Every structure is written in C-alpha cells, then in structure tokens.
Chains A and B, each alone.
Chain A
Amino acid sequence: MTTVAVKPATMAQALTRAMRDAMAADPSVHVMGEDVGTLGGVFRVTDGLAKEFGEDRCTDTPLAEAGILGTAVGMAMYGLRPVVEMQFDAFAYPAFEQLISHVSRMRNRTRGRMPLPITVRIPYGGGIGGVEHHSDSSEAYYMATPGLHVVTPATVADAYGLLRQAIASDDPVVFLEPKRLYWSKDSWNPEQPTDVEPIGRAVVRRRGSSATLLTYGPSLPVCMEAAEAARSEGWDLEVVDLRSLVPFDDETVCASVRRTGRAVVVHESTGFGGPGGEIAARVTERCFHHLEAPVLRVAGFDIPYPPPMLERHHLPGVDRILDAVGRLQWEAEG
C-alpha cells in the first residue's frame, strides 16, 4: 500500500488544480477572462494555466464582461467548455444580460438541442476589506433565474470537487467562490482529490440535536465557530453546508430540521429578498409540524455592501447567530 502525503492546501490552490486537471483531461475546456493569462488572475486562481496550456486555452480577453460571456456562448455552441472568470462579484453585472437572456435559457428555447456547458466563476462576498463593488453577495439574482445551477464551496475539498463537477456539467453553472476563504487551508491530497458529494446535495458538517444552522460558502466557518460557542449555553447545534443553492437539497435540510425541530438560516447576503427567505419558506412548508419555533434568518443588513471599515457590523458573526439561537426558545417566550 502506498502512503500519500496529505498536505495543507488553500482553497485557491484547489480551484487552480481543478481547472488544470479539467483542462488536461478534456481539450475542449477553455479558461477565459480578464487577467487570467500572464497574471494568473487577480487572486492567482488561474496561475500557470496559460503557461501550461497556451494562450488559446487560457485567454486574456478584452475588458468586457458581456463580451466575455457572450463569446463563451458561441464557443460552447461549437463544442467547447468555457470556464469564465468574472473578476469580482459586482463586475459580473454587465454580463447579466447574456446570463439571463441567453446562457440560462438556450437549452430550453432550443428544446434541449443546444445545451451550454459554461462555468461562470465569480469571487463573491465580503470580509476581505474590499472597497465598493468588491464584496457583493449576488447569489439571490442567480437563484432567481431558472436554467442555472448555483454552487458555492466552503471547504478545500469541495472547491476542487465542485469545480470539476461544474466544468463537467452539461448545464451552465454559476460557481460562487467565497473570496475570504481563498486562503483558508485544509489538509487535502491534491494527488488523489477526494470525491465529494455531487452538485445538488447538502452535507451535515456537524451533528447536533437542539437546532440546525443552515448555511453555505463564507458563512460556514462562522457557523462552525458559533456551534462550538453554543455548547457552553447548553445548545448542541447541527450545521448543514448547503453547497448548492440550485438545485436545492430539501431532503438533507428537512431531515435535519425534523430531527432538531429548530432552524436558523445564516448568510451574508441581504435578508430582504435574499436566499434565506426562500429557504425558510421551503423548510416551513415541509417541516411545519416538526417545528418548535419559526425558522429564523441571520443575514446581512438590507443595505448596499458597506465600506471596509464598517463591514464587521454588517456581516453575520458568532454573536448574532447565538442571539438567534436564543430566540429559538419560542415556547418559553410565547
């Protein structure tokens, strides 16, 4: 038996590795975007790909998001598998028209004859002290568009596994990369990347019995920390990492909530019109008779993303999560 060295790797390294392996395995995989070639992307996630595969397969495009995604549509029509990098969350908006008017519905409008296997990678979310337009959580916009898969990893293994799956998917995938987790490290064996659950499945990251925290992406580590802190208050929290917002895993989520009887949805995105509203409604519809309290939401405020010096007030932290958990003692209050 050979022993494999399990080395700590960052999420960014796992993402790079995923693209590299996908490009090596399938010549139709093309990476494109602003600064992805020589520079390796502003977060260095595409580092080395242009050198290894040539500029035709890892292409520095003109500075034009609609053009990047629009040309990717044509490339996908001709049998390529474009992996598009949008430099930052708020700079993907010029490409919205292409995403919503064409990418998401090309399969549908052509009755299945013209699927578009495009992966749109978007670094998203706050917590890195970015200036305006560098910290948006735009997942609700993508979730509201039928025809797209919306995926967001929270662990190093998922970063690799989910990105490989996204690139291999015959449907367009919006792949949201929590940029504050890019440098998070984990023991991971890049020579034998572990298989992870498929897109569409949620995973219980921590078992517990008194309430469920439903979360994803950048908020997962915060929820894990909150769960640890809650022990001293006598709460044994379960933490579910959603991983995939579309398709949504009702089964895993509801199984957990039925077991614990209480749930809090946690995300950085705004609460009003945000993903938490959809998730809370689904849980209520399916688990009403198991619920001991209303499903609560801990979300970012309903404001444009704040300037860096104020973002710590906006982002849901351990204390806000614990407050919500406290409010789950509905009967006592009611």
Chain B
Amino acid sequence: MTVLEQRGAYQPSPPPAWQPRMDPAPLLPDAEPYRVLGTEAAAEADPDLLRRLYAQLVRGRRYNAQATALTKQGRLAVYPSSTGQEACEVAAALALEERDWLFPSYRDTLAVVARGVDPVEALTLLRGDWHTGYDPYEHRVAPLSTPLATQLPHAVGLAHAARLKGDDVVALAMVGDGGTSEGDFHEALNFAAVWQAPVVFLVQNNGFAISVPLAKQTAAPSLAHKAVGYGMPGRLVDGNDAVAVHEVLGDAVRRARAGGGPTLVEAVTYRVDAHTNADDATRYRGDAEVEAWRAHDPVQLLERELTGRGLLDEDGLAAARQDAEQMAADLRERMNRDPELNPMDLFDHVYAENTAQLREQRALLRAELEAEQGDQEGGLR
C-alpha cells in the first residue's frame, strides 16, 4: 500500500479561494451532431426558408464546378472548392442580417457570394489581378483571409467595437478544422468570451487540413468541446444539413445580438473535392470514404425533403438548375474577359499619401511603361 492509498493520509481539498466560475454543463455540446433533415423536426421547417436554402445550394454547387473549370482554362490561379460543404456556406450567409459582418477564410467564396458580393469580384484574389476585389463595407464582408485563423480576432474586435458604439451588429467568423490549432483561434475565442463580444465562430470540420486528418489535429472529443474551456457554449451540427446549420447559427446569432455572448459551432462536413485543384487527394484518403459522404450530399438531403413534402416539383427543380446555369454562364463569360490592370495601382494603396520613396519608384515605373508603349507604337528601331 502506498502512502497515498492509506485512508485519510492525503485528503485533497481545494485552495481556500477556489470556486467554480460557472457550471460547465450547459456549455457542453450534444453527443451527436444536431440534425433536422430526415427527422420529424423537418416537417416544421418553414417552406420558404427551405426553398431559399435550396436555390443557394444549387447555385453554390454550380459555382464550385464552374470555378474549378476556370482553373483548367488558366483563368484562375487556384480554386479551393467547397463542394460537399455548400450547406455551411449558404447557411452562414443566410443566418446573418444585413447589418452583420462575415469574416470568411479562403475557402468561403460561396458564403461571400451568397451574401451578395459580385461573383467575379469574389474571385479576384484567386484570379490574381488584386487581393480583394470587393469593397468590404458594401456587403459587410471582410477580405478572404489566407493566413489561417488570423481573421478570427478581427471578427471579435469588430463585434466588440460595434457593441461599444451601441449597434446590435453580430460578426460571424469562419475557420477550418486545421485552423483551430492556430494560436489566433485560442486568442480570439478567449477575447470574445472575456469581452462577451457578439461573435459566432463557425468551424467547418471537413475532415482534413490539406492531407492531415482531424485525428492528427486534435485529441479533443469534438472541436465544439473546445468552447467550454473559454466559457462559451459549443454546438455540434451536421454540416451537410442546411436547415440544421441555419437553425444553430441563427440561434447563436440571436443569442449574440441579445447580449448573450459568443458561441462556437462545429459543423461536421466533408471536403469531397481535393484541397485545391493543385492537390492529389488519392495520396491520403480512399474512395470508400468519399463515396460514403457523397451519399450524405447536402443538395440531395434538402432536395429529398422539398420533393417529399411536395414543396418543389419537377418544374421547380428545373427552375433552380436553370438559375444556377445562368449564373455560371455569366461568370464564365465575364471571367473569360481579360481583367483591366493598372500597374499604377501598385503604388496607389500603400499609404494614405505616398512617401517620397514611393513617388520616385512610381515615376520610374511610369517612365518604363511609357518607353514600352513607345517601342510598341514605333516598332523596333
């Protein structure tokens, strides 16, 4: 028998000042991802909402296909497809009010477009003619963030500032499962909880960070569990169930708006395509896994519900597809035009007022361009 095993030899008691700060139980996520489609609860879903979600899902799926095709034609440098994850993208945009803000990561072009940003402007970063094509203030969408998780503290700061100003604005910040390992993720969640900032964090757990599976990313029971340590609720939702994601995000947004503080939502989904068009997914996963997820496709899940309840007939389905086709044709046509580039842009947005150094360098480039033009006009002398 060791000393510690002797009865009464060691009776741990908390230090005098210790007391739990709050009961963690209400913050814990459910054991299973929350679902609506395919359950009895689906019957209560608003038909109008279902139709709106569906139209955006079909558009999103088509957008992903079109953008991927554009990489093959060399029109886009790269495209990280969100095929299979459209429900998260669409629900994110539709859960917000107009005055709210969206903080997307590089994979979230669909959410950006569903929020109202012009599809071509949303692709500027990936086409390579500029970093951010749209005006962030027009639709209250922050620039697509390429460094992982770094946009999360921005969302917290903006939401905090809005609350200080007395505006009931909510920020929704999106991040991948890999991004949750970054330090900025921790700092953002902690700030948000301490400040009770009106923020919703949406983790799209699509199984992989490029090639690394979730098991190598975290040892937590779920990513939603991470919320509890910060003192905010964690919610786990089926990320392929557009209605469930919309509902969970909607609850979180309303809670934040009412002063209830931040929420961490983990949407369990799957990246059906490779990480980007440049990635070979066969090196790190098998077909069987992909096929199992294809059978749980977000578009089909919702389509089944709509047709089953008689909310959409063949004509309705055809109309949604046609609308998406039109969007794709428009996107294709506009993306096939060469963008108009102005090299002077290189200097025009570094500082509010150019420095002497930049003025000098700007003049140098202008002279070079003029000489180039002169050469072209005059032919070879």
Can you spell out 21 A-B residue pairs with CB atoms less than 8 angstroms apart? A64-B187, A66-B183, A67-B184, A70-B153, A71-B154, A71-B160, A74-B158, A74-B171, A76-B157, A98-B184, A101-B147, A102-B150, A102-B154, A107-B351, A108-B350, A110-B135, A112-B348, A113-B135, A114-B136, A147-B351, A248-B355
User: A197 at the A/B interface (Cβ < 8 Å)?
Assistant: no
Would you give the shortest CB distance from A98 to chain B, in whole angstroms? 6
CB distance from B257 to the nearest CB of A (A): 16
Residues of A within 8 A of B39 (CB): none
Do B142 and A77 touch across chains, with their CB atoms under 8 A apart? yes
Complex: how many Å from CA A69 to CA B191? 12
CB pair B158–A97 under 8 Å, yes or no, is no
What is the bound-complex CA distance between A2 and B284, given in angstroms?
80
Contact A62 B190 (CB under 8 A): yes
Interchain CB contact under 8 A, B143 and A67: no
> Which applies to chain B's interface (DSSP): helix, strand, loop or mixed?
helix
Residue of A whose beta carbon sits closest to that of B346:
A108
- Which of B142, B351, B357 has its CB near the most chain A CB atoms (within 10 A)? B351
Q: Which of B162-202 contact A (CB under 8 A)?
A: 162, 164-165, 171, 183-184, 186-188, 190-191, 194
Known: A62-B190, A71-B191. A77 touches B349 (CB 8 A): no
Q: Mark A100-123, 1 if CB is under 8 A from B, else 0.
A: 011001111111111100000000
Interface: B52 (CB within 8 A): no
Tell me the complex Cα distance, A129–B155, Å: 39
Residue A184 CB within 8 A of the other chain: no
Please encode chain B, from 127 to 140, with 1 for each CB lying within 8 Å of some chain A CB and 0 for all others. 00011100111000
B357 touches A247 (CB 8 A): yes
A158 interface residue, CB < 8 Å from B?
no
Which A residues from 72 to 86 make CB contacts under 8 A with B? Answer: 72-80, 82
Asked if A246 is at the interface of the complex by the 8 Å CB criterion, the answer is: yes
CB distance from A28 to the nearest CB of B (A): 9
Q: Cβ of A147 and Cβ of B350 under 8 Å apart?
A: yes
Nearest 10 A-B pairs (CB), nearest first?
Answer: A74-B157, A70-B153, A67-B187, A71-B157, A109-B131, A74-B158, A247-B355, A78-B161, A74-B154, A75-B161
A329 to chain B, nearest CB (A): 32
Interface residues in chain A, defined as those with a beta carbon under 8 Å from any beta carbon in chain B = 56, 61-62, 64, 66-67, 69-80, 82, 94, 97-98, 101-102, 105-115, 146-147, 149, 169-171, 200, 246-251
Closest-CB distance, A184 to chain B (whole angstroms): 29
In contact, A75 and B188 (Cβ under 8 angstroms) = no
Q: Choose from B162, B187, B188, B350 the contact partner of A78 (Cβ within 8 Å).
A: B162
Measured between beta carbons, the chain B residues less than 8 angstroms from A114 are 136-137, 143
Q: How far is the CA of A78 from the CA of B150 in the complex (A)?
A: 17
**Contact pattern, B 346-361, Cβ under 8 Å of A = 1, otherwise 0:** 0011111001110000
**Cβ-based interface call for B340 (8 A):** no
Enumerate chain B residues within 8 angstroms of A250, measured Cβ to Cβ.
Answer: 356-357
Asked, given contacts A62-B187, A114-B136, whether A73 binds B153 with beta carbons under 8 Å apart, the answer is yes
B155's closest neighbor in chain A, by CB? A74
Contact partner, B191, options A67, A112, A149, A246, Cβ 8 Å: A67
> B178 to chain A: closest CB distance in Å?
16
Q: How far, in whole Å, are A106 and B87 apart by their CA atoms in the complex?
A: 29
Interface residue? B265 (CB, 8 A): no
A97: chain B residues within 8 A (beta carbon):
147, 150, 184
Give chain B residues whose Cβ lies under 8 Å from the Cβ of A75. 157-158, 160-161
Which residues in A have their C-beta under 8 angstroms from that of B183? 66, 94
At the interface, yes or no: B159 with Cβ under 8 Å from chain A?
yes
Give the docked Cα–Cα distance between A94 and B182 (Å): 12
Q: Does B113 contact A (CB under 8 A)?
A: no
Candidates A70, A79, A101, A109; contact of B161 at CB < 8 Å: A79
User: Is B203 interfacial (CB-CB < 8 Å)?
Assistant: no
> In the complex the two chains form, what is the Cα distance from A183 to B98 in whole Å?
51
Whether A71 and B156, one on each chain, are in contact in the complex, defined by CB atoms closer than 8 angstroms, is yes
Contact B153 A78 (CB under 8 A): no
Nearest chain A CB to B251's CB is how many angstroms away? 23
B373: shortest Cβ distance to chain A, in Å?
A: 24
- A73 vs B155: C-alpha distance in the bound complex, in angstroms? 9
Q: Does B152 reach chain A (CB closer than 8 Å)?
A: yes
Q: Give bound CA distance, A61 to B160, whole Å.
A: 12
B345 in the interface (beta carbon within 8 A): yes
A75 to B142, CA, bound (A): 13
* Chain B nearest CB, measured from A162 CB (Å): 16
A70 to B351, CA, bound (A): 20
Shortest beta-carbon distance from B18 to chain A in Å: 20
Q: State whether B132 touches A111 (Cβ < 8 A).
A: yes
Closest residue of A by beta carbon distance from B147: A101
Q: How far is the CA of A149 from the CA of B350 in the complex (A)?
A: 11
Cβ–Cβ < 8 Å partners of B150 in chain A: 70, 97-98, 101-102
Per a CB cutoff under 8 Å, which of A64, A77, A79 touches B154? A77
Most buried by B among A56, A67, A248: A67
Give A102 to B357 CA distance when docked, in angstroms.
22
Q: Report the minimal beta-carbon distance from B348 to chain A, rounded to whole angstroms.
A: 7
Complex alpha-carbon distance, A225 and B331, angstroms: 68
Partner of B153, one of A67, A105, A106, A110: A67
Query: Which residue of the partner chain A has the closest CB to B157?
Result: A74
Residues from chain A with a CB closer than 8 A to the CB of B143 are 106, 109-110, 114
Name the residue of chain B whose CB is nearest to the CB of A67: B187
User: How far is it, in angstroms, between the C-alpha of A191 and the C-alpha of B171 when the chains are bound?
Assistant: 42
Asked whether A70 lies within 8 Å of B136 as measured between CB atoms, the reply is no
Residues of B within 8 A of A66 (CB): 153, 183-184, 187
Distance in Å: Cβ of A172 to nearest Cβ of chain B: 10
Residue of A nearest to B359 (CB): A247
